[in-house]
Amino acid sequence: MINNGTTDGNSTPTRPRPLSPNIQIYRPQLTSVLSIANRVTGLILSLGAVGLVVWLSAAAAGPQTYRVVQDVIESWAGQFALFGCTFAFFLHLCGGIRHLVWDTVHGFELRSIYISGWTVVAASIVLSAAAWTISLFVAGWHP
């Protein structure tokens, strides 16, 4: 768009034409909310990857450093962040599969869009719960 507020550059209004509101007024819908969620979870996973490297480096550095990092992870805040990362992982994974299906030009009927969307949400909740149940069952609970 041209900066004087017109889009053709021919008309010259005395002041720039206002831009009508977009994100400020547009109704949140499953379509847009899941798209934003896919972005945000991708960001969280990048941060989680940094956390993974910190954890591995600490393990390589020695038992004392590892203990410090492990204490952080085992704190309530650490457990909360870890669960958040798990949920972000599954939401991003399921969302990614949904996008792969779309790339084959399938599932574009509005009904399918909404069914697959809610399936992604439900599957991520179930998979996160399952992953934590299994890991707690295997490793035990050490608060």
State the residues that interact with other proteins by CB under 8 A.
Answer: 1, 5-8, 13-32, 35, 99, 102-105, 108-111, 113-115, 118
Query: Which residue lies nearer to other proteins by CB, 61 or 96?
Result: 96
Which run of H or E residues covers position 114?
helix 110-139
Least CB distance from residue 45 to other proteins, whole Å?
17
Least CB distance from residue 12 to other proteins, whole Å?
12
Least CB distance from residue 54 to other proteins, whole Å?
31
Query: Which residue lies nearer to other proteins by CB, 16 or 134?
Result: 16
* Residue 81 Cα distances to 51, 74, 108, 124, 143, angstroms: 10, 10, 34, 16, 15
d(CA 59, CA 53): 10
Query: Which residue lies nearer to other proteins by CB, 118 or 130?
Result: 118
d(CA 86, CA 73): 14
Nearest to 89 by CA among 48, 52, 119, 51: 48
* Residue 19 Cα distances to 4, 7, 86, angstroms: 11, 11, 40
DSSP helix/strand/coil, 53: helix
Query: Which residue lies nearer to other proteins by CB, 25 or 77?
Result: 25
Query: Which residue lies nearer to other proteins by CB, 69 or 95?
Result: 95
Least CB distance from residue 26 to other proteins, whole Å?
6
Least CB distance from residue 125 to other proteins, whole Å?
17
